[in-house]
A and B are shown apart, each in its own frame.
Chain A
Amino acid sequence: AQSVSQHNHHVILSEAASLELGCNYSYGGTVNLFWYVQYPGQHLQLLLKYFSGDPLVKGIKGFEAEFIKSKFSFNLRKPSVQWSDTAEYFCAVTAAGNKLTFGGGTRVLVKP
């Protein structure tokens, strides 16, 4: 069975700082990878996804993620965060025949 781990449970940073959230998965086959964001009091929204092709994926709101197959990783990055990026971020993985599996989530607090 596949699993997803997000290394940081909580991240606190100041506006304009760079953000990188780690995500590693365990599955030997072809995977589809997602980052979802959940803003306070709001529903899960898709930030970006990787199915195939260019391993550097650009999403909404200036986020990007890089799929490194050899490291089983799909880290999320943003060069300069804003206060409005305060949210919980979930990495998720799915593969043929397997359900969408979420990581434990990372709570990001951006201080103004």
Chain B
Amino acid sequence: DTEVTQTPKHLVMGMTNKKSLKCEQHMGHRAMYWYKQKAKKPPELMFVYSYEKLSINESVPSRFSPECPNSSLLNLHLHALQPEDSALYLCASSHTVDGFSTDTQYFGPGTRLTVL
């Protein structure tokens, strides 16, 4: 099973709202990732978690706050977002992280976020 699940599929929020995106994998992977994908663009790395610890933050604004409660779950807490943050947010996982990752990353279907 190479499935990464994400909820919700769609999210519309105002700039003053607080919401969370969730990601789950049961492949025993110890590295998990958040990416942001704007329309017609490739995914851009936001965060990397390795063994439930944040290992990489790609200079993401603090209005995005990741959390890894356990090895299977990854959350992205959103607060005071801007309309330009509207995008597809992708979660991925891989077996291990070596610095970054040299293993295959498996992606979830994403959450399409619209900020009004």
Contacts and interface: CB of A to CB of B under 8 A. Distances in A.
A105 B40 contact: yes
Nearest to A42: B109
Contact of A44 (B56, B90, B102): B90
A98 B41 contact: no
Interface stretch (B11-19, B59-67, B74-82, B93-101): B93-101
A99 B108 contact: no
A56 interface: no
A46 B107 CA distance: 9
Interface in A81-98: 90, 94-98
A74 B2 CA distance: 24
Nearest to A41: B109
B42 interface: yes
Contacts of B102: 32, 51, 94-96
A34 B109 CA distance: 18
A104 B56 CA distance: 22
A94 B101 contact: yes
B40 A100 contact: no
Given A99-B56, A103-B42, A43 B101 contact: no
Interface of A: 32, 34, 36, 42-46, 49, 51, 90, 94-100, 102-105, 107
